[in-house]
Amino acid sequence: MLNSYSAEDKVLVSVDCIIFGFDNEGLKILLIKRDFEPEKGKWSLMGGFLKKEESLNDAATRVLNHYTGLHNIYMEQFYAYSEIDRDPVERTVSVAYFALINIENHNTELTKDHGAEWFSISNMPKLIFDHDEMVSHGIRRLRYRTSTKPVGFELLPEKFTMRQLLELYEAILDKELDKRNFISKINSLDILIKLNEKDMLSSRKGSYLYMFDKEKYDAKTRNNFVLNL
């Protein structure tokens, strides 16, 4: 029975990772310059080929760690790309993931190797192959996820103001939100801890800082989570 596999076509499988970040100036994406042909020197997502001993999630984790040095970050598989001519060298199916990283905490290690650079989503360079399509699809999935999981919180520092949270969701959704309505909906989720600390840089009176309640946050991730903005 196993011998019948030998007559089937062999196809390469790769993973491509979209790394989203936020730095209070908008939603950003981390890109690298490809260091081999074809398309050498052009901007690309971070990717690599699936190895025989790996699952797709293992491969994506390895690729992210190789390029960023980071572990235990939010990552989600969202689509497979299988157009016959998407890679001019070899027939390759790519499985795409998106990851969420707080730029403030990790910017130094992310950009010192591999020529990686952060770009605004609204002003990013043209990417190789079908990577532009992947990014567009990844943004749509991220926007959908903001209503079903508290994933946006992965992009913020440990302590943040309500204004930072509002600006993050406005950046992800690419639209202006009503401040009072937003705060009311966030508070109704009961996953924030209001600290007795203020960010004195945001205004003369300062803005209260918040943290996430980890236990409630994990429970909301596991169970139904709805945030309609």
User: Residue 32 sits in a domain of what CATH number?
Assistant: 3.90.79.10
State the Cα–Cα distance between residues 126 and 38, nearest whole angstrom: 15
Residue 174, pLDDT > 60, answer yes
Mean per-residue pLDDT over the chain, rounded:
89
Q: Which of 121, 148, 175 is the last residue of a domain?
A: 148
Decide if 228 is inside a domain: no
Residue range of the domain that includes 216: 156-222
Return the bridge partners of 117, or none: 31
Could you give the number of structural domains in the chain? Answer: 2
Residue 84's identity, in one-letter code, is I
pLDDT at 63: 93
Q: Does residue 162 share a domain with residue 143? A: no
State the Cα–Cα distance between residues 105 and 118, nearest whole angstrom: 14
pTM, entire model? 0.89
Q: From edge to edge, which strands make up the β-sheet containing 207-212?
A: 160-161, 207-212, 192-199
Decide if 40 is inside a domain: yes
CATH code of residue 165: 1.10.10.10
Residue 143, pLDDT > 60, answer yes
The encoded tokens of residue 88 equal: 């001019």
- Count Cβ atoms within 10 A of the Cβ of residue 23 and give its class: 0-12 exposed, 13-18 middle, 19 or more buried: middle
Decide if 78 is inside a domain: yes
Q: Which helix (H) or strand (E) holds 94?
A: strand 92-102
Q: Does residue 130 share a domain with residue 35? A: yes
Decide if 205 is inside a domain: yes
Q: Does residue 9 share a domain with residue 115? A: yes
Q: What is the mean pLDDT of residues 190-203?
A: 87
State the Cα–Cα distance between residues 151 and 95, nearest whole angstrom: 20
Residue 154, pLDDT > 90, answer no
Q: Which of 124, 148, 172 is the last residue of a domain?
A: 148
Q: Does residue 94 share a domain with residue 34? A: yes
Query: Which tens digits make up the pLDDT trace of 48-90?
Result: 999 999 999 999 999 998 888 888 889 999 999 999 999 999 9
The encoded tokens of residue 51 equal: 């190895």
Q: Which helix (H) or strand (E) holds 63?
A: helix 56-68
Residue 24's identity, in one-letter code, is N
